[in-house]
Amino acid sequence: MHYSGTAPGGCWDVNTNATLTHNEGSNSLAIANVARCFISNMGVDSTRVFATGTSSGAMMTNVLMGAYPISLPLDPCTLVFPTDASEDPTLGTQWGDLVRSGYPGFTGVRPKIQFWHRTVDTTLYPQNFWEEIKQWTNVFEVSATPVTAILK
């Protein structure tokens, strides 16, 4: 499936309560429903359904990971943006709480994800990458401190 967002410029809705909340509506629910339809009606293997994107698509990938972690295993995304960066929290716990509020009561295993961000991006500033690290390390309950390994 290849789809465009409905916001100005073909961007995704990545910051309304509806899109940030599981089964509440907007673009994230539309994507989840299409994936569910493919899985239920067309025999698509649910373990082979992925979300990935750049720019607004990367932002939507984060939204989907927060609001639909079971429905859509996620692939690496680039040009990252934390879930609902319009809220502008600064602590990892605040960012993590935004993700958890997208699917209250979710206790399952969240899919793996990888984030990349170019420092020359003039639309999504590099600081978004650092905020995203705070967000997802809090959600996954892992340290944001890099681990160094020397391979011989």
Q: Locate 118 and state its tokens.
A: 């170019």
What CA dihedral angle connects 145, 78, 80 and 103, to 10 degrees? -90
Q: Locate 66 and state its tokens.
A: 């927060």
Query: Pick the catalytic residue: 26, 28, 55, 71?
Result: 55
- Give yes or no: 55 in active site: yes
Count Cα atoms within 13 angstroms, Cβ side, for 115: 24
**DSSP 8-state secondary structure symbol assigned to residue 111:** P
Residues annotated as catalytic (active site), given as ranges? 55
